[in-house]
Amino acid sequence: MNTMNITVTGMTCGHCVASVTEEINELAGVEGVEVDLPTGAVTITSTEQLDPTAVAGAVEEAGYAVA
């Protein structure tokens, strides 16, 4: 199991968290996404090493940015 930690900026509510979680979950190999709204910390667990560019793209697709 692989773990990636990122910080997402611009999230302000539960809907933001749901959007980011949904987009990241669509990436191949993602097993789980945990988001801490107050800090913007996102922990992603996956069965394979994730491409940081793909993760950033998923976050941007949700309307936010990786710090």
pLDDT in tens, the chain (67 residues): 999 999 999 999 999 999 999 999 999 999 999 999 999 999 999 999 999 999 999 999 999 999 9
| 2-66 fold | Alpha-Beta Plaits (3.30.70)
Q: Report d(CA 28, CA 10) in Å as an integer.
A: 25
Q: Report d(CA 13, CA 1) in Å as an integer.
A: 29
Could you give the strand order of the β-sheet that contains 41-46, starting from the edge strand earlier in sequence?
Answer: 30-36, 41-46, 2-9, 65-66
Q: Report d(CA 15, CA 2) in Å as an integer.
A: 26
Which residues have C-beta within 8 Å of that of residue 2, sequence separation ≥ 6?
A: 45, 46, 47, 48, 49, 50
Output the pLDDT for position 37: 98
pTM over 0.85: yes
Domain boundaries, the chain: 2-66
